[in-house]
A and B are shown apart, each in its own frame.
Chain A
Amino acid sequence: MHLDAKIPSGPLPEKWDRHRFDLKLITPANKRKYDILVVGAGLAGASASASLAEQGYNVKTLCLQDSPRRGHSIAAQGGINAAKNYQNDGDSVFRLFYDTIKGGDFRSREANVYRLAQISNSIIDQCVAQGVPFAREYGGGLANRSFGGAQVSRTFYARGQTGQQLLLGAYGALMRQVKLGKVTLLPRREMLDLVVEEGEARGIITRNLISGELECHGAHAVVIATGGYGNAYFLSTNAMASNVTATFRAYKRGAAFANPCFVQIHPTCIPAHGNSQSKLTLMSESLRNDGRVWVPEKPGDRRAPADIPEAERDYYLEDKYPSFGNLVPRDVASRNAKEQCDAGKGVGATGLAVYLDFSDAIKRDGLQTIEMKYGNLFQMYEKITDQNPTDRPMMISPAVHYTMGGLWVDYNLMSTIPGLFVLGEANFSDHGANRLGASALMQGLADGYFILPATIGSYLAGLTTKTININQSTFLATREEVENRISRLLATRGRRTIDDFHRQLGLLLWKDCGMTRNEKGLREALARIPAIREEFWHNVIVPGSGQALNQSLERAGRVADFLEFAEVMVIDALSRTESCGCHFREESRGADNEARRDDNNFCHVAAWEFSGPSTHPTLHKEALSFENVELSQRSYT
């Protein structure tokens, strides 16, 4: 396998323009001769489907939920970045580019990130034109807020539901094309395999989740936009159906998987209540603007927070990082919370939480001001925990939130399988080793609205295959493999439930491949995962049949893939012995105990190639070069 990122030559600001000029085009009349499959209808998938259909391609869009409007992008709260500089505070395309590269701890491509920053402005234009009701100033202009990792205000938002409003915009655009007959919408479908023929992606196998039927879909190109794999950890802020299945199946068919160990852990989530916790809820990072993080000074102090005097509280972030204080980046905040809890200073029923205290802010600004800023978040918190954060400090704890890793793609968003394109959180993307707040929405929409519609034509124009026949042997053989797998799952009839295995895997990953990692733990995980997997295939219970709606079967398939994929994650984490971004190797820290990158050995993207079952995957490195920014160690003290 050869990784060619196809980065255009020329100065950074001109690369994208030049590249678009160099790409081959397809005339409007000819576009209708091409079929494109889009798997996933979150922000990335819906925006791509609509934009491709507008150009004239025949698009078929699939998603798991009953409607594309429910893709997990809907849950994004905080906002979307763009370099509009409406605040006149010194923002620019270059600054957005720089912040994103630095926030990612220098593990992403300059050319990609610069393009993302360039496109960011068009995204806002597009969404506003669709009627997305972004927050506005009294004068009628668009409002901005600030977010972590940036010193300018560049985040556009719609209350606490930016993702929802953006997705409804993209969904509207998609439904318009459905009405026009350019998009065939297939909801409640799960992609279970990729069909590769003569080295090119030619289609997919899906399960109709209602009838259970296995269907073959052929196309000239396949686009995967199936989101992130945070649910490998069982508990995460992701939706229940978020999975790795589509991308992992593609990996097994030859697509390289890049940086799988780069998983972002968000510091401010509502703590788990117990063993039956099914998912975690994010509390926006904006809370750290006014909340002070603390734990009791003495380990094991079980007193109510109000009974702990000021002198016996440890405001550890403020002490350790005087210049950033409570606003250190997500990974730093999370790791420090873990450190405190490991030292026995955690609070809450499980001892895994820390306090986020608004009482000083309320004293300073008044209850009303603070409620105005965070009222909806406070309500959400109260709904779940039955506690009012204005009376008693909020309890928060870190949770798996976003996956920077994903299928490797070149500058055109094409994976190592020709004809297979990957968008949104599903690709290894532009966020390097750590994503900044409000930039995932930007990236998903940049990919879907602007990048793929420009690049896919060039691939299609060069295609020699004109018709795709789904009755061909490759399709049938792939479908049979899927069928066998399903039959095996249904036939196992063991004694442990699917969630039981999933929870076990999640706990293991959380412990050994979570906020901090070390060689010993990773090796242990690597030894245990195959054992869990082995037991899964012999002892799982999957009730019901394959010929009907069977949610247990759906989950079983996803967990089976997590069980294989987790190994790749751990292998990646093991091989990257540096600390970078969210990947904190305990062995690699500086004198200050903080993370230390190793640019001499790890300034690369680690792309893993499937090399056969129970064989160690093969590592391919894509070297990263930085010509426009200077590599520096992050420091927040």
Chain B
Amino acid sequence: MSRTISLTLRIWRQENGTSQGAFETYRTGPISTEMSFLEMLDVVGERLTLEGKEPVAFDHDCREGICGMCGAVVNGQAHGHQQGTTLCQLHMRHFKDGDTLVIEPFRSRAFPLIKDLVVDRSAFDSLIAEGGYVSVNTGGAIEANTLAIPRKIADLALDAAECIGCGACVAACPNGAAMLFVGAKVSHLALLPQGQPERSRRVLAMVRKMDELGFGSCGNRRECEAACPKRISISNVARLNREFLKASLLADEE
């Protein structure tokens, strides 16, 4: 049932990518435990606004855990401590009265900071541009039921395709690696018959791009999987490795 709690927030404030940032401390005042984390930030923002200050900038849009726009590191954990939950779906009932929350942006060389908690994740778009698709022009498709796909395979593909591209995997990885993100996309398409023609080219290109963009490498530490709000499995990382090895050894394209 609904209660109210008060929290102390230490939030990273930084004017822009080049300026110096620092933590600022705010008190939330009494807030309802029915609120979501972002609604709690809204309340603080409204108060700052009334005090003539700028509210904390943070990315968000759908607020139902699907667009992948929101995200911050709360007390050292990407999207906070609730497993399988985006920040927008994290509710305040999971905190205790008097808690102090340290809120930081996702940090990675590949995700430059823009302002406060807002970071630039366009590196993910660049990764997809390298081959995270099937090259089929509109109109050039065959009839949808021509290829039978075992239900299990379709399910596995969807498990991987559920990735919302929020970047929590990178933020949580001690090495700032993007293996789970790339692994999920490579797996989704490698599993399906539609992905076969470009299978090798896709994995080689995406891995090359991943290195170029400054992501770290994988230590199989599993933090990505644990932080992923969609619980994307690291078996997708193993599959990425496998696909890469196969393509490197066997594929004859350049």
A and B touch in their complex, CB below 8 angstroms: yes
Contacts of A142 in B (CB 8 A): 144-145
Contacts of B59 in A (CB 8 A): 66
Stretch of A100-108, A118-126, A288-296, A417-425 on the interface side: A118-126
A128 at the interface (CB under 8 A from B): yes
Q: Are B158 and A75 in contact (CB under 8 A)?
A: no
Stretch of B64-72, B218-226, B233-241 on the interface side: B64-72
State in angstroms the CA–CA spacing of A498 and B42 once bound together: 12
Contacts of A274 in B (CB 8 A): 2, 32, 34-35
With A51-B138, A125-B142, A176-B135 known to touch, is A75 a contact of B62 (CB < 8 Å)? Answer: yes
Most buried by A among B59, B65, B154, B189: B154
Closest-CB distance, A19 to chain B (whole angstroms): 17
State in angstroms the CA–CA spacing of A577 and B240 once bound together: 61
State in angstroms the CA–CA spacing of A428 and B163 once bound together: 32
Interface of B, secondary structure class, is loop
Contacts of B134 in A (CB 8 A): 129-131, 172
Q: Are A168 and B161 in contact (CB under 8 A)?
A: yes
State in angstroms the CA–CA spacing of A274 and B3 once bound together: 12
Closest-CB distance, A279 to chain B (whole angstroms): 5
B13 at the interface (CB under 8 A from A): no
State in angstroms the CA–CA spacing of A281 and B120 once bound together: 27
State in angstroms the CA–CA spacing of A65 and B120 once bound together: 11
Q: Are B114 and A549 in contact (CB under 8 A)?
A: yes
Q: Are A72 and B62 in contact (CB under 8 A)?
A: yes
Q: Are A176 and B158 in contact (CB under 8 A)?
A: no
Q: Are A70 and B68 in contact (CB under 8 A)?
A: yes
Closest-CB distance, B207 to chain A (whole angstroms): 16
Stretch of B45-53, B95-103, B171-179, B242-250 on the interface side: B45-53
With A164-B162, A551-B57 known to touch, is A276 a contact of B35 (CB < 8 Å)? Answer: yes
Contacts of A158 in B (CB 8 A): 158, 161
Interface residues of A in 252-291 (CB under 8 A from B): 273-274, 276-279, 281-282
With A133-B154, A543-B55, A548-B16 known to touch, is A54 a contact of B138 (CB < 8 Å)? Answer: yes
Contacts of A141 in B (CB 8 A): 145, 148
Q: Are A386 and B148 in contact (CB under 8 A)?
A: no
Q: Are B38 and A139 in contact (CB under 8 A)?
A: no
State in angstroms the CA–CA spacing of A551 and B55 once bound together: 9
Q: Are A279 and B69 in contact (CB under 8 A)?
A: no
Q: Are A499 and B46 in contact (CB under 8 A)?
A: yes
Interface residues of B in 65-84 (CB under 8 A from A): 65-69
Q: Are A125 and B34 in contact (CB under 8 A)?
A: no
With A276-B39, A383-B89 known to touch, is A136 a contact of B114 (CB < 8 Å)? Answer: no
State in angstroms the CA–CA spacing of A549 and B114 once bound together: 8
- Using an 8 Å CB-CB cutoff, how does the interface string of B144-188 with A read, 1 for contact, 0 for none? 110111110011011001101100000000000000000000001
Count chain A residues whose beta carbon lies closer than 8 angstroms to a beta carbon of B: 84
| Cβ-defined partner of A67 (8 Å) among B162, B165, B195 | B165
Contacts of B148 in A (CB 8 A): 139-141
Contacts of B66 in A (CB 8 A): 74-75, 161, 164
Q: Are B62 and A135 in contact (CB under 8 A)?
A: no
Q: Are B114 and A50 in contact (CB under 8 A)?
A: no
| Cβ-defined partner of A278 (8 Å) among B42, B48, B57 | B42
State in angstroms the CA–CA spacing of A18 and B2 once bound together: 62
Q: Are B141 and A171 in contact (CB under 8 A)?
A: no
State in angstroms the CA–CA spacing of A281 and B86 once bound together: 14
Q: Are A239 and B63 in contact (CB under 8 A)?
A: yes
Q: Are A130 and B194 in contact (CB under 8 A)?
A: yes
Interface residues of B in 95-148 (CB under 8 A from A): 114-115, 118, 120-122, 124-125, 128-130, 132-145, 147-148
- Using an 8 Å CB-CB cutoff, how does the interface string of A444-461 with B read, 1 for contact, 0 for none? 000001100100000000
Q: Which residue of A lies closest to B1 (CB)?
A: A386
Closest-CB distance, A137 to chain B (whole angstroms): 7
Closest-CB distance, B84 to chain A (whole angstroms): 9
Q: Are A544 and B158 in contact (CB under 8 A)?
A: no
Contacts of A128 in B (CB 8 A): 141, 144, 147, 194
B93 at the interface (CB under 8 A from A): yes
Q: Are B144 and A124 in contact (CB under 8 A)?
A: yes
- Using an 8 Å CB-CB cutoff, how does the interface string of A61-77 with B read, 1 for contact, 0 for none? 00001111110101100
Closest-CB distance, B20 to chain A (whole angstroms): 15
With A239-B61, A278-B38, A278-B63 known to touch, is A133 a contact of B161 (CB < 8 Å)? Answer: yes
Q: Are B154 and A136 in contact (CB under 8 A)?
A: yes
Q: Are B120 and A66 in contact (CB under 8 A)?
A: yes
Q: List 19 A-B contacts (CB under 8 A).
A: A66-B59, A66-B121, A70-B69, A75-B66, A125-B142, A128-B141, A129-B142, A130-B141, A131-B133, A131-B157, A136-B154, A137-B151, A173-B138, A176-B133, A276-B31, A383-B89, A548-B16, A549-B118, A552-B49
Contact surface of A with B, Cβ cutoff 8 Å: 47, 50-51, 54, 65-70, 72, 74-75, 84, 86, 121-122, 124-131, 133-142, 158-159, 161, 164-165, 168-169, 171-173, 175-176, 178-179, 185, 187, 210, 239-241, 273-274, 276-279, 281-282, 349, 380, 383-384, 386, 449-450, 453, 495, 497-500, 541, 543-544, 548-552
Other contacts beyond A74-B68, A142-B145: 13, CB < 8 A: A67-B121, A74-B66, A122-B139, A125-B144, A128-B141, A128-B144, A129-B141, A133-B188, A273-B2, A281-B63, A380-B65, A383-B89, A386-B93
